[in-house]
Structure 1
Amino acid sequence: MGMVMPPFPDAETVLLALLEPLAPTVTATPAELVPPLIRVQRVGGSDDGITDHPRMEIACYGKDRAQAWQLAEQCRQLVLGSVRTRVDGVLVDDARTDNPPAQVPYATTEDIRRVVAYFRLAWRRPRPAARPAEEKVH
């Protein structure tokens, strides 16, 4: 029987913790959106059994174009600067931009703007807990 490995860290939770100092962060856009707001969502990725490579979408909402773009750039720099740091107990091995920030239409009666970017991160799963030595049978 193979070893049951611990799960990889929850990528959305890691990014929520990383980006929270910039603005309120969520994993789903609320019906009553009050900018500034950051929404994070895992939108793909892969793993090799050792390292998880989540592809993350970060959507930044601002009360106007300037606020949305400024928040998106702050997010990008924080994500790229997270390499070799611990975020919510997770050591970030790598971070890169997949698609740089781009304004995406957001249907609303207010002039709320949305800027979306995609990032690829990398981290390993937590080490499995040590198993007690098997007792010898005589």
Structure 2
Amino acid sequence: MPDDHGDAALAGRVWRPELGGPSVVAIRPDGVFDISASFPTMRDLCEAPRPAQALRDAKGEKLGALAEFLANIPSDTRDARKPWLLAPIDLQAIKAAGVTFAISMLERVIEERARGNPAAAAAIRGEIVRL
């Protein structure tokens, strides 16, 4: 955890076996709280006008202490009857990562083909746009 985690606005996702799916959670000094009634996805939380404040203000069911979730992360020792932490990404982050990767990949190919020549790079970009 960050040194200032007591003052931080920390969000995450957990797998809730009793629900058969993930929930968005607020990680606070006094525990992990399911806030998915207010924010069904991380995308919803991230698109709130003031995400950090929305996270701090969100009410939810206390699921337990953070230590319990951390202890249940390793898949080889996980108790599948208890919730565990997931990657904090969902719909928004996956889409953004895919778009960012594709653009970065194209730029690398363009630069490699142009061999540092800005005019050649511009011509290649123009050809891609034309296609």
TM-score interval, smaller chain: under 0.3
Higher Rg of the two aligned structures: 2
**Structure possessing the higher relative contact order (Cα contacts under 8 Å, 6 or more residues apart):** 1
TM-score (norm 2): 0.27
Greater strand content: 1
Greater helix content: 2
